[in-house]
């Protein structure tokens, strides 16, 4: 990554100023830094004067714990989704098999289905009137 491909932005974490460089937009890098700063302040609050490296390590451990828990939850949800997808695919195959079987000639008779629908011929004009006249209309 060349210098021209990188964005730079000034951030502050626990009162220490840093310049961040990366491909991300400066606003996004600042948002991340603000969240880290907030977390580190939470960790440092019970122990004022704690060295920044200890606060950083504890904060990193807390964030890694959260990330690991979220990843495990995501993996479990993916497994549930995969299982549901497999079940849906199996049901779809069963349905397709049933439909295919129902359209076979030997199954049509069992279902009282006609192979050819009854053909009704009807012309325009007088033939329509003839039909009504035959039925008493």
Does residue 48 fall inside a structural domain? Answer: yes
Residues 83, 88, 92, CA angle at the centre, nearest 5°?
150
Residue 125 lies in a domain: no
Cβ atoms of residues 12 and 41 within 8 Å: no
Number of domains in the chain: 1
Residue 95 is part of which domain span? Answer: 3-106
Q: Please report which confidence band the pLDDT of residue 104 belongs to, taking 50, 70 and 90 as the band edges.
A: confident
111 domain residue, yes or no: no
Alpha carbons within 13 angstroms on the beta-carbon side of residue 51 total 3
Task: Residue 102: count other Cβ atoms within 10 Å of its Cβ.
Answer: 12
Asked, for residue 123, whether it belongs to a domain, the answer is: no
Residues in the chain: 137
Q: Is residue 116 part of a domain?
A: no
- pLDDT, one tens digit per residue, over 2-21 is 666 789 999 999 999 999 99
Q: pLDDT category, 72, cuts 50, 70, 90?
A: very high
Q: Is 13 among the domain residues?
A: yes
Q: Is residue 39 part of a domain?
A: yes
**Considering the entire predicted model, what is its pTM?**
0.59
């Amino acid at each position: 990554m060349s210098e021209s491909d990188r964005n730079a932005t000034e951030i502050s974490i626990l009162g220490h100023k840093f310049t961040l460089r990366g491909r991300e937009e400066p606003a996004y890098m600042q948002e991340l830094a603000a969240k880290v700063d907030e977390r580190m302040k939470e960790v440092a609050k019970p122990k004022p004067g704690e060295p920044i490296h200890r606060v950083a390590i504890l904060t990193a451990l807390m964030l890694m714990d959260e990330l690991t828990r979220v990843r495990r939850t995501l993996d479990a949800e993916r497994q549930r989704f995969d299982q549901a997808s497999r079940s849906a695919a199996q049901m779809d195959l069963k349905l397709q098999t049933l439909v295919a079987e129902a359209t076979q000639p030997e199954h049509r008779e069992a279902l009282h289905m006609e192979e050819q629908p009854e053909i009704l011929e009807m012309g325009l004009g007088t033939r329509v009137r003839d039909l009504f006249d035959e039925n008493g209309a």
